[in-house]
Each structure stands twice: as C-alpha cells, then as structure tokens.
C-alpha cells in the first residue's frame, strides 16, 4: 500500500515546480517586461529640485540698468510635518484669514501630505525679514529662494511686459516648463523668453518614505547647474522714455520714436500706463485685476501698437510721394482751393482758409485738403490703368511698401496690422467695381477706412527721412554682448517710391515747422521736419497727430505722437513731438513754457469716453 503510493511524490514535486515556475514568470514580467515599476520607484525616492536661474538683465541704449532681479522667497509647506503651528501668528504675518489658511492647507494636503507645496509665493525680501525670525515656530514650513523682476525706473511697463507662472496649456505643449516655473507673459519678457530665461538646473535628492532627505542621488552625478539668462541691450533711451511718459501724463495716446538709420526704437510710450513694479510677485494678481477692470483709462492697453487711427493729414505725405511715383504729380503741379473739394450731391470735403492756388510744397505746408483730394483722384483715375480697381491696387501696393496696413514685425508682441482697405472691401460695400475715386476720396486726406498704428506712423516718418527705406523697428539692439547687433533686424526694406521724389516732400515738411501748420513748435537751430494731422472721430474731439524727424539731413530721430480727443495736430501732438526732439538731441529742454503747458494739461479726467477694447479700435469719420 505504502510503496504503491510512492508515485505521489512526483505529483507533489510537480505542484512545487509549477509554483516555482509561476513565480519565475511573474518575476520576469514585473522586473523585466514592464517599466512602470521602475518609474514608480524613482517617483518614490527621487526628488528633483529645480535650480532656478536668474533671468537676463535689460539695459537701455546708454547702458543704464532697466530691469534686474531681486531675491524673493516662496514659503513652502509639507502638510504632514505642519503640526503645532502657531496659525494665528502665521496668518497675521502673511496677512491672510484663518479660512484662507485652512483652504491652502487643504489644497496642499490634497496634492500630497508628504511633499512640498507653495503656501505663499514670491514673498519680497522686506516681508521675508519679518517671517524669517519666526519661521521656527511654524514646523513643516520652509522657504525656497526665487527671484523677482524689479524695475529701476517706473517706465515702459508695456514694453517690458511681465512674467507669470506658466499655465497648464504651456506646460502641456512645451516640455521645458514645469508647474511653478515662470514665463514671460507679455512684452520683451515674452518675445525674448528663451534668451532671458537661462537654463534651469536640477538637483536630484533621495528621500525616504517620510520625505526626509537622505542625500544626493549617486553623489550628484546627474545634477545639473543653472545658467543665468542672457542680458539684453535695448535701444530705449531711458531719459527720453521717462520724459515722454511725463509729457503724456493725463492724456490718452502714444509717442513712438525711432532712430531712422537703424530702426531702433528710442521710446515706446503709451498712456495711461502703470508702474511695472505693480505686476511683480504676490501683489501681481490683485494689481492686475485692478488694471484690467479700469475700463475707463485702460492702462493695460498698449496704444502704441494696438490702437489704430485714421492718420488724417499726415497721410498727405504718402499721397505726395505716390502721386509723383505714378507720374500724375510734379513739384510744380498747382491746384486752386475754393474752400473745399466738391464730391457731388452738394457734399464737399472742407478746407480751411488759406492762400490759393498752391504748388506741392505749399500744399504740404498749409495741409490743403482740396489739393490732396485732387492728387488722390489723379492717381486713381490715371488713364494708364484699365480700371479704377487696377489703379487702386497699384496705389495700395505702393502705400503698403511704407510698412502700412500690415504688422511691421516689432520685437514686442501685440502689434496690429492697421488697415489699408482691399478692393474686395469696397466691392462688398458698394457692389463689385461700383466704386470710383470719388467714392473713396476721403482716403486722400487720411480719413475713412484707413487705419494706422502710432508705430507705423513713426516708421513712416523714419522712412521719409531716409528717403525711401527703413529697417524693421526693434527694441533690442544687442543680445548678450553690448556691441553685437540684433541679427533679426539687418534687412533694409525699400519703398516702391523712387528716392528722388522725397526731397520736395521733405522741404514741404520743413516748411510745416518753420512757417506752416506747426510753426508754434519750432526749435531754434534744430531744423526738423514734420506734418500735422487731425483725425476726425465720432467719439469726441479730434485726435491730435504729428509725425516728424530731425535733423533734416542724416536725421537721428523720427517720431509720431498721437493725443486722443485733444484737437488739432498743431495744438498738442506737434509741441509734444518738438519737446521730445529737443530732449533727445539736446538732452535738455529750454522751452519751459511749452513743456509746462503740456505737462499740466489734463485731457482725460472728467471726459469719459468709452472705447471698444480688444483688437484696437477703428475710428471712421
């Protein structure tokens, strides 16, 4: 009986071996086939501690420091270790309510009770002083150092932009950014983000199950250093920018100045503006909200790039240039002005009282509406073209060669295209090819559907001063090294108008200042050339516009000034431009009475005009 059952040992051994085999297969699966366990293991014990680099600094064209970094601190918490915290004291120091403390703790705990979360971000150095000496009373809390952007001068807020925490959409699309990282949200901070941000470093630490630090991972073999961001040398002139912002105080509008020979932006002013230091650190959220909700003055709206105005009479310069190029206008061309230009049905484009008839220089100097309506008509009705449409398309092409009607490509985000209407637009409005020169005559005096941004106006001034070419305007002249030139902006753009047609127009512009519409703004011994513009708009008083450059030969500054709802170009924009030119060329302003009148003028308070926001506004007449 016993011996008969001896075979059963094989069954039993078989069971043993089967179990051994199952274990081997399972081990093979767990240890060799799948990766998720090794990933989870690293997730368990490795803590990747980011080393944040300092962002690149930003200087002005004379080497003045404009934007720098200051030490700041994130207050971190590990909820599990936060026991016996003097909650009342901590709330008092941070200026938060008990409920807020509980809410943040709950959030942190929901993320992980073993791992660190930011409890209060970006505490400034001053505030950290109060916190530091009491930190020992808050077990589980510690600080992680970060940097905050600081601005030496409270100017050029829109140009610099600001930085903020990278949002989920960015983190998803760009692997560089992790939660808690900062990214340039606007302005130079955004367009030069990859240069300014530097390179993050990484320290890998090993922790135990209670998140206690157990030393560096493999003696720091895989640790990387942080590299500071690259410095930027902007072409802004700090003094000019600051002076312009003072002039524009209590006015809506903008000033853009360009160095014509290089395309470098000397100042980029929009008003109303704000102190860039407001959008830094943990006060940013609140201040940003306040700025956004200020719908009356719209301080976040960058008018220099995002507002679109009919250029008014400044556009007559383009008429003069294109007319000559098209062979329908000569310096000697003379038109009489009977106080306006009749467009049929008893309607007319009015003109002011002035001597008549006028030649080209005179018409620019006096800014005669009738003259340029005729010039515009002669361009559009030119017999050498088969149709109005063809002539118009040619005109449009030549106008756009001045950098109008499309984004110039400035290295500050947010530029608008402006608008030089397409033939299709008029087809839609009047019916296919059912429009004539008389239908669109207001374009000739820079009114109607045409829309140009202040940046484009300044670039127009620079292009005219160069006699027909421009470099794309840019605000960063050098990257990393002070003397290197920004390689993105080395290509000359040439207009469709021949160089030889410019001098007569520039002579006219010189007369505008010496004895024409802007004679009140002339500066002794600086020969500058300008053109006034007064853009009608249905929302209130006319926009006061002026473009200019100086000196007449080899000019060093080209400028556009727009003062919204202020009146005639000669009244506000021209004196502002002349003060800016004087400031830039002489470094000091002698005409104190004009300066005082401008600085003390308040053109917005008490006059509440609401604009559509968003993609800029278009103001037809």
Check binding of 41 to another protein (CB under 8 A).
yes
Stretch that binds another protein, among 37-45, 283-291, 449-457, 510-518 (CB under 8 A): 37-45
* Interacting residue with another protein among 171, 206, 485, 589 (CB under 8 A): 206
Closest CB to another protein among 20 and 480? 20
User: Mask 207-246, x = binds another protein (CB under 8 A)?
Assistant: xxxx---x--------------------------------
Question: Between the CA of residue 432 and those of 388, 389, 450, what are the distances in Å?
Answer: 12, 10, 20
In the numeric block, which tokens belong to residue 80? Answer: 């599990």
Residue (of 366, 310, 353) closest to 537 by Cα position: 310
In the numeric block, which tokens belong to residue 207? Answer: 């922790």
Stretch that binds another protein, among 2-10, 82-90, 229-237, 449-457 (CB under 8 A): 2-10
Residue (of 243, 260, 268) closest to 579 by Cα position: 243
User: Mask 546-565, x = binds another protein (CB under 8 A)?
Assistant: --------------------
Smallest distance from another protein to CB 491, Å: 56
Stretch that binds another protein, among 33-41, 396-404, 436-444, 459-467 (CB under 8 A): 33-41
What's the CA gap between 148 and 72, in Å, rounded? 6
Which residues pair with residue 543 across a beta bridge?
Answer: 535
Check binding of 22 to another protein (CB under 8 A).
yes
- Token pair 């202040």: residue: 454
Stretch that binds another protein, among 38-46, 261-269, 379-387, 585-593 (CB under 8 A): 38-46
Closest CB to another protein among 47 and 150? 47
Q: Are 158 and 137 in contact (CB under 8 A)?
A: no
Closest CB to another protein among 92 and 212? 212
Size, binding site for another protein by CB under 8 A = 38
Phi/psi of residue 608, each to 5°? Answer: -95, 110
Closest CB to another protein among 208 and 602? 208
Check binding of 38 to another protein (CB under 8 A).
yes
User: Who contacts 332 (Cβ-Cβ below 8 Å, separation ≥6)?
Assistant: 359, 360
Question: Between the CA of residue 80 and those of 77, 96, 106, 118, what are the distances in Å?
Answer: 9, 21, 11, 14
492, HSE (Cβ side, Cα atoms, 13 Å) = 9
Q: Are 28 and 202 in contact (CB under 8 A)?
A: no
What's the CA gap between 73 and 67, in Å, rounded? 19
Closest CB to another protein among 5 and 386? 5
Stretch that binds another protein, among 21-29, 151-159, 270-278, 437-445 (CB under 8 A): 21-29
Check binding of 40 to another protein (CB under 8 A).
yes
Check binding of 589 to another protein (CB under 8 A).
no
Question: Between the CA of residue 237 and those of 65, 257, 265, 311, 413, what are the distances in Å?
Answer: 11, 10, 9, 26, 20
User: Mask 58-77, x = binds another protein (CB under 8 A)?
Assistant: --------------------
**How many other CB atoms sit within 10 Å of the CB of residue 604?**
20
Check binding of 24 to another protein (CB under 8 A).
yes
The residues binding another protein (CB under 8 A) are 1-2, 5-6, 8-9, 11-13, 15-17, 19-20, 22-24, 26-28, 30-32, 34, 36-38, 40-42, 44-45, 206-210, 214
């Amino acid at each position: 009986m016993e011996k008969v059952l001896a075979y059963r040992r094989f069954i039993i051994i078989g069971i043993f071996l089967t179990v051994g085999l199952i274990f081997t297969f399972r081990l093979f699966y767990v240890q060799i086939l799948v990766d998720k366990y090794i990933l989870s293991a690293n997730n368990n014990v490795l803590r990747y501690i980011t080393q944040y680099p300092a962002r690149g600094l930003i200087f002005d064209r004379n080497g003045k420091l404009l934007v720098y970094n200051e030490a700041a601190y994130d207050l971190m918490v590990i909820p599990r270790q936060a026991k016996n915290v003097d909650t009342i004291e901590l709330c008092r120091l941070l200026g938060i309510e008990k409920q807020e403390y509980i809410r943040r703790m709950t959030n942190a705990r929901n993320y992980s009770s073993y791992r660190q979360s930011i409890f209060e971000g970006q505490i400034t150095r001053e505030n950290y002083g109060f916190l530091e000496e009491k930190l020992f009373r808050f077990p589980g809390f510690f600080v992680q150092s970060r940097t905050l952007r600081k601005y030496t001068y409270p100017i050029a807020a829109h140009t610099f932009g600001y930085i903020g925490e990278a949002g989920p959409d960015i983190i998803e699309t760009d692997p560089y950014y992790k939660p808690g990282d900062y990214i340039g949200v606007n302005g130079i901070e955004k367009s030069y983000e990859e240069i300014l941000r530097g390179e993050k470093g990484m320290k890998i630490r090993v922790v135990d199950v209670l998140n206690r630090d157990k030393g560096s991972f493999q003696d720091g073999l895989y640790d990387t250093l942080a590299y500071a961001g690259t410095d930027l040398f902007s072409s802004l002139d700090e003094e000019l920018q600051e002076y312009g912002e003072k002039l524009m105080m209590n006015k809506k509008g903008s000033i853009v100045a360009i160095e014509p020979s290089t395309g470098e932006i000397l100042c980029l002013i929009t008003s109303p503006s704000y102190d860039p230091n407001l959008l830094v650190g943990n006060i940013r959220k609140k201040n940003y909200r306040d700025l956004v909700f200020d719908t009356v003055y719209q301080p976040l709206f960058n008018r220099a790039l995002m507002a679109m105005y009919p250029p008014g009479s400044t556009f007559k310069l383009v008429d003069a240039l294109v007319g000559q190029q098209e062979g329908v206008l000569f310096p000697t061309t003379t038109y009489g002005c009977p106080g306006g230009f009749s467009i049929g049905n008893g309607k007319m484009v009015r003109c002011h009282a002035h001597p008549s008839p006028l030649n080209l220089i005179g018409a620019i100097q006096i800014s005669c509406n009738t003259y340029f309506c005729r010039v515009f008509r002669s361009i559009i009705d030119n017999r050498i073209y088969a149709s109005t449409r063809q002539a118009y398309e040619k005109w449009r092409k030549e106008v756009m060669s001045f950098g109008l009607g499309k984004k110039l490509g400035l290295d500050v985000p947010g530029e608008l295209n402006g608008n030089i209407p397409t033939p299709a637009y008029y087809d839609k409005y009047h019916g296919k090819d059912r429009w004539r020169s008389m239908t669109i005559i207001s374009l000739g005096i820079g009114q109607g559907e045409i829309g140009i941004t202040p940046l484009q106006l300044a670039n127009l001034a620079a292009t005219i001063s160069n006699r027909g070419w421009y470099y794309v305007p840019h605000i960063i002249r050098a990257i990393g090294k002070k003397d290197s030139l920004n390689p993105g902006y080395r290509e000359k753009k040439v207009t469709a108008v021949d160089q030889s047609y410019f001098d007569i127009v520039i002579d006219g512009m010189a007369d505008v200042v010496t004895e024409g519409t802007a004679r009140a703004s002339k500066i002794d011994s600086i020969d500058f050339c300008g053109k006034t513009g007064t853009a009608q708009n249905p929302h209130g008083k006319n926009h006061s516009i002026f473009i200019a450059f100086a000196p007449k030969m080899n000019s060093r500054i080209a400028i556009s000034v727009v003062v919204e709802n202020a009146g005639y170009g000669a009244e506000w924009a021209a004196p502002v431009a002349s003060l800016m030119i004087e400031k830039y060329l002489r470094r000091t302003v002698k005409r104190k009475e004009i300066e005082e009148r401008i600085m003390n003028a308040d053109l917005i308070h008490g006059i509440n005009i609401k604009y559509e926001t968003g993609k800029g506004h278009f103001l037809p007449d």
